[in-house]
Amino acid sequence: MTTSPTSQSPVAVPLLDLQALVVAVRRRRRLWCSMALLGLLIGAAVAVLLPPPPSAVTKVLVAHQQDQPNDTGTLMRTDVQLLGTTRIAEQALRSLKSAEKPEDFMRDYRGTGLTNNVLQIDVTGDTDAEAVARAKALADAFVANHVKRIRDTANAEAKALLDQRARMQNELADVNKEIGGRPPDSDPRASASIESLFARRADLTSRIADFGQRAEEARIGTPQLIVGTQIVDAPRAVRHSLPKTAVINAVIGLVLGLVLGLSLAAVGAVVADRPVLRRDVAANLGASVIAELPRRSGRLWQRRRTRRARMRLISTLARIVRGSAEPLSLLELGAARSTSAIALNLARELAADGPVVVIDGLPDAQLAKRRQKPGDPTVVSGERAGGVSPQEHRIGVGSVAPGTAWTDLQYLGTETVLVVRAGHGSAAWLHTVARRLADQRIAVIGVVLIDPDPRDRTDGTLWDGLHIALRGRSERPARQKGTGRRLTAELPMWAARVPDNDQEAR
């Protein structure tokens, strides 16, 4: 979008044009499609070339003394961490009679808490049999360790209770001895002391019985926990399906490759800053887009529409040449082949009016070196342009790619139509092209956009630049054919408004 040159308020330029970004990413679909395909192939290749090692799995039911219905899995997480200790790894290796270090063995297995009481153990090995043996040894070692801890806890608790009962029994013996050593006496104070001793004896007797019962309960509860801790799923080898693994890995690789490709395309589009929309190309070049042509012929059902677009463009350019005394040039940027085809078709269209000469100013004289067919117009290189008769129509073909000899472009034509491939040049280079052409007093009367985005709905017309837009093209200072003398003094200074690299095109 452009503003009037008389407007004093700057146009707010968005930091990131999402529409242009989406179009740029879509145009680079070869990149992200290739990355997605590469990821798919790599994922499938990994499944084939790096198959998973032989593995085995087993499940252990673990009974806890502190089991609660509202447990959040703390006890099972503790069991998982205990499984990954050198003590259990060493016990398993000892039962396997293996000289492997426990630290190395610990990297070959892992525990997973499925529920609060079910522990799954996954083990890898060199063969399926070895993996199964390792899984069984680990499960047995874990069960033995868990049972030992339960027994140790129960024995320690029972021992503490029995020790407490023994102390109370000794105290009870002392109380009984004191009661037995008291002679019968009718003294009221002696009677009160005797009653206190009898009450103390009764309390000690009750507590001794309670500690004994608690010690028995501690021992009775231990067998239930021991029996409840057992291997519920015997160790078995895990069968790996190569097609299934390949499909899963391929899908993962496809998604990762697609994400990486889209990211690279988006970053590249932002960094490169290559305009692809009609609106941006027109704004950066300071000229309206007068036609759009595909880069290739396209599909069968699109060729007729492409042919009609080419014919309309040729007719428009022919009217320009017939109605102007100024020589016309076609300058390409990333579209040398399309520019050559347009120039030859335009020369054929003008051949009915008189002799036509195409001046080839392309690098290496690509158009002049081609094999001419019967009926093709005359094509001369830029070095022979001085010998062209003034009575002949001149159509110059050149390039504004980096490395262009800008001073030579004026001899191809003082009016030009830029043939630009969308997304080929950066915004800074388009600014440079507009500024250089303005310095050479070459009027850009329109832009032909090659390979546009088919979903582009932006407007490529500079409504505030009617002095350079084709639809509002004003009269330019004409030259008399054969004399080269200008009929007016100076060119209009439209080029003064062509911005520099970092300015907005107005």
Domains of the chain plus CATH, in order, are 18-51+243-270 (no CATH), 55-239 (3.30.1890), 274-497 (3.40.50)
397, 363 contact by CB (below 8 A): no
Mean pLDDT of 80-95: 93
Average per-residue pLDDT for the chain: 80
Question: Binning pLDDT at 50, 70 and 90, where does residue 354 land?
Answer: confident
Question: Binning pLDDT at 50, 70 and 90, where does residue 135 land?
Answer: very high
Asked if pLDDT for residue 41 goes beyond 90, the answer is: yes
The whole-number pLDDT of residue 483 equals: 36
Asked if pLDDT for residue 496 goes beyond 50, the answer is: no
The whole-number pLDDT of residue 157 equals: 79
Mean pLDDT of 251-264: 95
Question: Binning pLDDT at 50, 70 and 90, where does residue 478 land?
Answer: very low
The whole-number pLDDT of residue 390 equals: 67
Asked if pLDDT for residue 17 goes beyond 90, the answer is: no
Mean pLDDT of 341-364: 85
Question: Binning pLDDT at 50, 70 and 90, where does residue 463 land?
Answer: low
329, 357 contact by CB (below 8 A): no
Mean pLDDT of 290-295: 86
Characterize the bridge pairing of strands 443-450 and 415-421. Answer: parallel
What is the tens place of the pLDDT at every residue in 204-230? 888 888 877 777 776 666 777 788 889
Higher pLDDT, 274 or 196: 274
Instruction: Beginning with the edge strand found earlier in the chain, give each strand of the sheet holding 289-293 in spatial order.
Output: 289-293, 443-450, 415-421, 328-333, 393-399, 356-360, 378-381
Asked if pLDDT for residue 38 goes beyond 90, the answer is: yes
Question: Binning pLDDT at 50, 70 and 90, where does residue 14 land?
Answer: low
C-alpha angle 323-375-450 in degrees, rounded to nearest 5: 60
C-alpha to C-alpha distance for 149 and 222, rounded to whole angstroms: 10
Asked if pLDDT for residue 238 goes beyond 70, the answer is: yes
C-alpha dist (Å) from residue 365 to 163, 360, 382, 396, 442: 110, 6, 8, 12, 22
Asked if pLDDT for residue 183 goes beyond 90, the answer is: no
C-alpha angle 285-425-505 in degrees, rounded to nearest 5: 25
Mean pLDDT of 326-354: 88
Asked if pLDDT for residue 5 goes beyond 60, the answer is: no
The whole-number pLDDT of residue 184 equals: 60
Mean pLDDT of 310-317: 89
Highest mean pLDDT among 7-11, 234-238, 408-412, 502-506: 234-238
C-alpha to C-alpha distance for 447 and 433, rounded to whole angstroms: 12
Asked if pLDDT for residue 127 goes beyond 70, the answer is: yes
Half-sphere exposure of 125 (CA within 13 A, CB side): 23
Asked if pLDDT for residue 4 goes beyond 50, the answer is: no
Asked if pLDDT for residue 471 goes beyond 60, the answer is: no
Mean pLDDT of 102-115: 93
Token reading at 240: 């790996």
The whole-number pLDDT of residue 12 equals: 57
Characterize the bridge pairing of strands 230-237 and 356-360. Answer: unpaired
From the list 326, 306, 466, 484, the residue with the least C-alpha distance to 393 is 326
Half-sphere exposure of 497 (CA within 13 A, CB side): 20
What is the tens place of the pLDDT at every residue in 374-420? 767 778 776 666 666 666 778 889 999 998 888 888 888 889 999 99
User: Is 156 exposed, middle or buried, given 0-12, 13-18 or 19+ CB atoms closer than 10 A?
Assistant: exposed
The whole-number pLDDT of residue 199 equals: 81
Mean pLDDT of 466-476: 44
